[in-house]
Chains A and B, each alone.
Chain A
Amino acid sequence: MTLQVKALGRRFGEKQVLQQVDFSVGKGEIVSLLGTSGCGKSTVLRALAGLDSDYEGKISIPSDQRVGFIFQEPRLLPWKTVLANATFGLKGDRKENEEKARRYLELVGLKEAEKLYPRELSGGMAQRAAIARALVTEPDILLLDEPFSALDAFTKMQLQELLLKIWETFGTTIILVTHDIDEALYLSDRVLLLQGRPSTLAKDLKIALTRPRSRGSAALGKWKEDILDLLEGKEQTYDYSLVTEIGQKA
């Protein structure tokens, strides 16, 4: 087990946002946290990243596991070039770091853009640069907080493919927060559904479909329908053979 969350809760002032969330993520898994906005899914991720320490419960990540984080916005440092942004997380010899960063910039398709400043980049390019910056530190666990939500549909698809390519190349464990059901279904091995006020983990869905998946496939369509029903709190009409309730692994 790479990462384990036990009885995670978070309150902001008087308001309990998150309650009793338990889950674990295995090495090399892609897991999506899905929920409506304000459900606390980003809160879970920030706690995992160590950006928030005022949570209740317990998070355990083995100390040898490096954690990388990709934010919703690129958050590049505007005074640094793409290359300097990419090397930001590295220590030690500058030449070596730059060589390394160039390799990752090439991977994300920004080879030609290393001398540009963030203001000269499109939204998609900026987010690619942010991905390169996170990858350069060679994280074992990559946390992504709605990383593609601000991008146009086409760029979004390209970056989703990129994420899968990264996963295939490095075997990175990926935890992705999203409100986009299609994205969660296209990418994930498991979809964790957060629901309720305060939010709890309502479902742990195993998406047992092989990759590469086809975006328009009937199987994904069925899944989407089921998840929408779940989110709306409708009577569950989905096929139970595909779904595992929390605690029961398929």
Chain B
Amino acid sequence: MWKKLRTHPVLLGSLLPIVLLAAWEILSRAGVIPAYQLPAPSAILSTIITYLQDGSLQDHVLLTVYRLFVGFIIGTIAAILLGTLVGYSELAERFFDPLIQAFRSIPSLAWVPLFILWMGIGETSKVTLIAVGVFFPVYLNIVDGIRGVDRKLIEVGRMYGLDGVALVRRIILPASLPSFLTGLRSGLGLGWMFVVAAEIMGASQGLGYLLILGQNTYAPDVIIASIFLFALLGKLTDWVLKIIQKRSLHWQDTALAK
């Protein structure tokens, strides 16, 4: 029994959450934790089910994922273009990088009022904020990745007559792929953070809106339900990227690749 617990991939790690959930449920039902502050897990689950049944939860989730996706794509594309250029060309680095670093030191949430002022409270400002959040980690990792490409492999490329774009495409980009994918994953993490911020700052739909709705209607079950869904979706999207990472980096000679 003990041995099974120790070696099973999931069993040991799920022990503590199960115990805590059970304790939470029992304490809530016994009235030790007041329901207006922290409703029981079963109550939260039934809130989720209610929202699911009237179809509104699907709409909220879809819109949030849609915003994240569009912002993520825009931020990533901008990061790929600029990152490749800056990583590859020293001239481009000296030209662009100081400005980019300066912008990076602005906490991204400080953009919120400005974006609302410029673009209103609609989708554009939200997507822009998410794109800004995604941009920096992806950009930094691409630049780092390209800088870190083994000079010896670049020499191989040059020995076979590669130059400029061909060298970037055939040696530099594939060699910096591991770093790029790491950047994508941390970019996605930040993307989720910014989608919350964007939706809190003013939305009439989306998971972030549910957070605010719960706050304004004294419904902690709604808040916790959306927090839970954020966590679930975040984990899910990261898992997808992780699979992509594993598939495309199967050639790597590292301890993790098996």
Partners in one complex: yes
Chain B residues near A119 (CB-CB < 8 A): 251-253, 257
Decide: A118 near B152, CB < 8 A? Known: A79-B174, A88-B160, A89-B160.
Answer: no
Chain B residues near A88 (CB-CB < 8 A): 156, 160, 170
Interface of A is mostly: loop
A79 adjacent to B152 (CB under 8 Å): no
B178 (CB) vs chain A CBs: closest residue: A79
CA distance A79 to B252 in the complex (A): 7
Chain B residues near A69 (CB-CB < 8 A): 159
Contact with B along A38-74 (1 / 0, CB 8 A): 0000000000010100000000000000000101010
How many B residues touch the partner, as a band? 10 to 19
CA distance A78 to B156 in the complex (A): 12
B152 adjacent to A73 (CB under 8 Å): yes
Say if the beta carbon of A75 comes within 8 Å of chain B: yes
Say if the beta carbon of A23 comes within 8 Å of chain B: no
How many A residues touch the partner, as a band? 10 to 19
CA distance A119 to B252 in the complex (A): 7
Report A43 CB to chain B, min CB distance, Å: 14
A89 (CB) vs chain B CBs: closest residue: B160
A77 adjacent to B171 (CB under 8 Å): yes
Contact with B along A103-120 (1 / 0, CB 8 A): 000000000000001110
A81 (CB) vs chain B CBs: closest residue: B251
A88 (CB) vs chain B CBs: closest residue: B160
CA distance A118 to B152 in the complex (A): 15
CA distance A71 to B158 in the complex (A): 13
Between B153, B160, B177, the greatest number of chain A beta carbons within 10 A of the residue's beta carbon is seen for B160
Chain B residues near A178 (CB-CB < 8 A): none
New A-B pairs, 17, CB < 8 Å, besides A51-B159, A77-B175, A78-B251:
A71-B152, A71-B156, A75-B153, A75-B155, A75-B156, A77-B153, A78-B252, A78-B253, A79-B177, A88-B160, A89-B160, A89-B161, A117-B250, A117-B251, A118-B251, A118-B253, A119-B251
Instruction: Show 6 residue pairs from A and B whose CB-CB distance is below 8 angstroms, ordered by the A residue.
Output: A71-B155, A78-B251, A88-B156, A88-B160, A89-B161, A118-B253
- 6 closest A-B pairs by beta carbon, nearest first, are A119-B253, A89-B160, A79-B251, A117-B251, A69-B159, A79-B174
